Chain A
Amino acid sequence: GQQVMQIPQYQHVQEGEDFTTYCNSSTTLSNIQWYKQRPGGHPVFLIQLVKSGEVKKQKRLTFQFGEAKKNSSLHITATQTTDVGTYFCAGKAGTALIFGKGTTLSVSS
């Protein structure tokens, strides 16, 4: 079945450093979604990418969808302690949404 792989599994940065997480699918995706889960919380939707090569920005967060629609990335510029949490990508498999294992970001001030 479809697999969505995410790397790295963990990342620790100093406040102010940049952070990137990568998502790769074994099959072509019709779209990809990104979610953030704060420690002890539930996943919250961040953004959806649909078009090949699409780039979207939300303040310090930049999301990209690969030209072949099989990979995606999330880049955070100048991390802050509020960015702490686990970031998940999710791709459509049939009707259901399959999640990657997530990247857990920790930030020290």
Chain B
Amino acid sequence: NAGVTQTPKFQVLKTGQSMTLQCAQDMNHEYMSWYRQDPGMGLRLIHYSVGAGITDQGEVPNGYNVSRSTTEDFPLRLLSAAPSQTSVYFCASSYGATGSSYNSPLHFGNGTRLTVT
């Protein structure tokens, strides 16, 4: 199993450009999520999904869109990049979340380092 795969590893964008960060997992996990990590701010949840066709907003959703058309893929779209979106982005997945009072451990991808100039 490859686990959680994120592409690209590095990306530089100009203000106003759009792009999609890709995330794929091969563990048949129901739950997938996107976090951004900034110095001193920890990991902040952007969007998450508890299954195909279901998405929801996290703590910092503005400026980002997601969709979940398959169990395996959970792309994150930046609609119009801004310097404030310069960050390291992590995709994470886990087994089963709906209706459970517990969380299964999150499996993280290696991250995408995004710079917006």
Contact B103 A98, beta carbon cutoff 8 Å:
no
- Report yes or no: A48 in contact with B102, Cβ–Cβ below 8 A: yes
| Count of A-B residue pairs with CB < 8 Å | 67
B41 at the A interface (CB under 8 A): yes
Interface size on B, residues (CB 8 A): 28
Contact-residue size bin, chain A (C-beta under 8 Å from the other chain): 20 to 34
Most interface-central of A6, A99, A101 (chain B CB within 10 A):
A99
Q: What is the interface of chain B, defined by CB distance below 8 A to chain A?
A: 31, 33, 35, 40-45, 48, 50, 56, 58-59, 90, 92, 97-98, 101-103, 105-111
Of A37-45, A54-62, A77-85, the one with at least 4 CB within 8 A of chain B: A37-45
Q: Does A68 contact B (CB under 8 A)?
A: no
Q: Which of A33, A88, A98, A101 contacts B105 (CB 8 A)?
A: A33
The interface residues of chain A lying within 8 Å CB-to-CB of B42 are 6, 88, 99-102
A108 cross-chain contacts in B, Cβ below 8 A = none
